[in-house]
Each structure stands twice: as structure tokens, then as C-alpha cells.
Amino acid sequence: MATEVREALRADPDPASALLDAYSQAVIAVVERVSPSVVNVRRGRSGGSGVIVAPDGYALTNAHVVDGAREVAVTLDSGAELTAAVVGTDNATDLAVIRILGSGLPVAELAETESLRVGQLVIAIGDPLGFHSTVTTGVVSALGRSLSARDGRVIENVIQTDAALNPGNSGGPLVDTHAKVVGINTAIIPTAQGICFAIPAATARMVAGMLIRDGRVRRAYLGIGGAATPIGRQLANELGITNTSGIRVLEVVAGGPAQRAGLAVRDLIVDLDGAPILTLSDLQRTLGAGRIGRSVDLGYVRFGELRRTTVTPAEAR
């Protein structure tokens, strides 16, 4: 790609035109490589997009695109119409995996999202409003955004982009200039312009692996409702902790792991197995599938006193 740009700059006496031509050629090259793997996904009258990530037909899309369906109709870039089984969905990340009943299908490569930079050029491909293989371009506007999922959990490390997305783009790929999928387009803010979001490829890869293997994503569960609450510096010093905040327990589910461990409303959770818990996102990250059924040490504050208990997270349902 860099060689093509340099050759274009040398060939054109007008540097500005050469740069624009090189930019156009870069976008065209990416679209030609990725578009064959982008599919239209339909569930009844509603629809969205998807991207094939394995030659045996596994494709990523959004959970809300296939919501409640066992099978969906799929149209390939070639125009061929096929059926896809819904392998699994994960409302907590708004991701789903479908398996298209075909062979030798074109595949897009998932990138290592950690290499993304704010300002980096990205390209969105999808089927907004039924217009197949629509391409828009933009930049990575921000990284590390958080979105609320339909199940109330927080989706972490979301990519914000100004590449224009519309209804129907959901589930389609956000691609870098190396033709690698850096995100799965998922949401827009209808009242705003140029504020769109994508689930990062690293999350998509992890969720897809679990859905293909188990048909669901396993997460640990404490059985509480809570909110991040600041901790004053004086109290933190008195307790010997580094936290600037913790999770105030606002609700305890009857019979849940937290209640069995003795936690109560108004307790302030500050660490789990020694790892500081400052936000709900910290708690969610700490409660991975590996914690299910395993006892963990939990630190919390009650009446200004630091206490400890042992809790055994259950599997979230």
C-alpha cells in the first residue's frame, strides 16, 4: 500500500491530486478485498449486516440483528441467497455468530484492535437501509468508550468513529487501511452526526470463540446491584487502601452469592482477590468465566471499617 502511494506521488506533477488519488486507491483496494465477505442479514422485515470470518461459514453480526431467531436469511456480495443458523448471541456485547450454509466462502481477517490510534483512517462497509455494500470512510474519533448493553452490562473499550453509519449497518465491519476488521459496527446516536460506535475486534474474537464452542458466553455473577461511589482520601488512608472509589451495594439478590457471603445494602466493595475495584467496569472485568464456582476474597467497607469475606461467584443466567 505504501509503495502504491509513493508511485502515485511520483507519477503526478500535482502533489495534492496525487495524494487524493492515492487515498482513493487505498480505499478502493480495501473495499475490493473486504466487500466479498460482507453479507446482508435478514430476520423477517428487519435486517442488518454481517462479516464472514471463517471459510466454513461462521460470520459475526450484532445480537439485535438476529434477536430471537434460530435461522436468518443471508445475501452474499455475489447476490447468492443462503440460509444461516444462529450459533449464539451475547446481549452483553451485542454480538452474535451465525453459520452460513455454504463452502469456500470469502473471509475477512480480524485485526489486533490494540494497534488502533485516534485519527486513524477507517472504512465502514454494510447494507444501510438495504443498500448492499455501501462504503463510508472516516477516522477513529476516540478509543475506550463505554456503551450500555441491552442487559444492563457495560460494553468496554468501544471504538468511536465518524464513518457514517445508518440503520442496517449494524453487524457490518469497520476496517483499517490494511483490509483488516478492527470492529463490528453496532450503534449510532440518532440525534447526533458523526458519532458512531463499533465493538473492537479483540472483543469480537473472544466472544465468537465462546459462542462457537459453547453457544453462549459464560460470566461470573455476584448477585448485587451497585454504583461507583467516591472514597475520601482521609478514609482511604485510614483504611490503608489506594482506592479513590468503590462499588456501593444498592441491591442484594436473595439467595445469591453476595447474600450468602454476608454482603448487605450500603456495603462498599473495594477489592476482589486483592485487585482494586473502583468502577462497575472493574468488577465486570474481574468476574470472568474463570471465577465461576471458585471462592474469591472480597474486601468491603461497612460503617467505616474494612472487612473481608469469601464469596463464590455463580454463573450468570
Mean pLDDT by 10 residues, the chain (317 residues): 56 76 92 96 91 95 93 93 95 94 90 83 91 92 84 80 90 96 89 88 91 90 90 94 93 94 97 92 82 95 96 90
- Looking at residue 274, which CATH number applies to its domain? 2.30.42.10
Catalytic residue among 37, 49, 90, 94: 94
Q: Which of 6, 1, 32, 28 is nearest to 19 (CA)?
A: 6
Show which of 187, 212, 237 is a domain's final residue: 212
pLDDT at position 42 is 93
Map grid coordinates 473471509 to a residue: 107
CA distance linking residue 194 with residue 235, whole number of Å: 43
Show which of 212, 238, 263 is a domain's final residue: 212
Catalytic residue among 64, 141, 176, 245: 64
Whether 79 maps to a domain, the answer reads: no
CA distance linking residue 147 with residue 291, whole number of Å: 24
Q: Quote the crossing angle between the two packed helices 2-11 and 15-34, to the nearest 10°.
A: 150
Is 170 a catalytic site residue?
yes
Q: Give the number of other Cβ atoms within 10 Å of residue 285's Cβ.
A: 14
Catalytic residue among 37, 49, 141, 170: 170
Q: Which of 306, 254, 313 is nearest to 284 (CA)?
A: 313
Domain span at 298: 220-315
pLDDT at position 242 is 92
Is 77 a catalytic site residue?
no
Return the C-alpha cell found at 121.
483512517
pLDDT at position 114 is 67
Whether 195 maps to a domain, the answer reads: yes
Is 178 a catalytic site residue?
no
pLDDT at position 7 is 60
Number of domains in the chain: 2
- CB-based burial label for 283 (10 Å; 0-12, 13-18, 19+): buried
pLDDT at position 83 is 94
- Looking at residue 166, which CATH number applies to its domain? 2.40.10.10
Whether 42 maps to a domain, the answer reads: no
Show which of 162, 190, 212 is a domain's final residue: 212
pLDDT at position 97 is 98
Whether 32 maps to a domain, the answer reads: no
CA distances (Å), origin 266, targets 239, 252, 284, 298: 17, 10, 19, 15
Whether 36 maps to a domain, the answer reads: no
